[in-house]
Amino acid sequence: MSATNAQPAPVTIGDLQVGADQPVYVIGEIGINHNGDVEIAKKLIDVAVEAGCQAVKFQKRTPEISTPKDQRDKIRQTPWGEMTYLEYKYKVEFEEPEYTEIDAYAKEKGVQWFASPWDAPSVEFLEKMDVPTHKVASASVTDHEMLRALAATGKPIILSTGMSTLEQIDAAVEILDTSKLVILHSTSTYPLPPEEANLRTITTLQERYGVPIGYSGHETGLQISIAAVALGAVAVERHITLDRAMWGSDHASSLEPKGLENLVRDIRILEKALGDGQKRVMPGEFSPMSRLRRVDA
């Protein structure tokens, strides 16, 4: 009796391989949880490194392009006073001096960094920073202009799939090079209730696209991300924060340092525990077998 269960080839990101039989690629999503302060960003890099993440991630925007027109003039109360949503978006946006500092710091700490560009000029910006990969945020799955700019970079791409239909994902995948593509299952509800996680979609995406599949989580807690790995996710991305009570939209559904440390610890245990699926008697079983199994049975 035999059956084949071919796995897609891993995708090379910088000096790492992301895919089956590789350590799960854990991404600490800093996003805009630095609240515009590069010192907070560096502390979050430390948190990710200490937890054992292989990468940290940011979000790069050109606010006058990426901010929806009907949202720009809405007034927000912020730690920096009352301002429009567009002004706030500029306030938390890092430019070249900050990213140059982040690049040097991440290299010193031995962790990869990259970002999700939210518009085509941001792809150009990130290319100048020579990032090893680009992430497509769920909100950008239908931004074909940006996807074409990303495909033209020739870099590996990590495509998130929250708030998207299979048809929208098909159209995005059509534009990208599937030999360098990692797809993340995701639900863009913040925080994510378990009944919307739909983790079995990981298998659906594996079968439909034949590329390595990971998971981008917005739940509170660790169980759903760990279960995603048990179901075959080869990458896990989680928002991280220094303190979930900090001001800003993503902090509440982020992991604090201890939570991230526990997540990576549990993922590394699970990597070992999943094994290769070949049924055999394990070395630790011989002693109990000799004590417990009747030889004449």
Ligand X SMILES: C=C(OP(=O)(O)O)C(=O)O
**According to the binding rule CB under 6 A, does residue 187 interact with ligand X?**
no
**According to the binding rule CB under 6 A, does residue 216 interact with ligand X?**
yes
Residue corresponding to tokens 């429009």: 84
Considering only CA atoms, give the Rg of the chain: 21
Of the ranges 38-46, 66-74, 102-110, 182-190, which one interacts with ligand X (CB under 6 A)?
182-190
Query: What is the distance between the alpha carbons of residues 297 and 24, in angstroms, rounded to a whole number?
Result: 43
Under 8 Å between Cβ of 35 and 249: no
Q: What's the closest the beta carbon of residue 2 comes to ligand X, in angstroms?
A: 38
Instruction: Give residues 53-92 in contact with ligand X (rule: CB under 6 A).
Output: 59
**According to the binding rule CB under 6 A, does residue 160 interact with ligand X?**
yes
Instruction: Give residues 232-251 in contact with ligand X (rule: CB under 6 A).
Output: none
Of the ranges 40-48, 173-181, 183-191, 271-279, which one interacts with ligand X (CB under 6 A)?
183-191
Of the ranges 44-52, 64-72, 130-138, 173-181, which one interacts with ligand X (CB under 6 A)?
130-138
Instruction: Give residues 99-128 in contact with ligand X (rule: CB under 6 A).
Output: 116
Of the ranges 42-50, 86-94, 106-114, 184-192, which one interacts with ligand X (CB under 6 A)?
184-192
Q: What's the closest the beta carbon of residue 269 comes to ligand X, in angstroms?
A: 24
The contact set with ligand X (CB under 6 A) reads 31, 59, 116, 135, 137-138, 160, 162, 184, 186, 188, 216
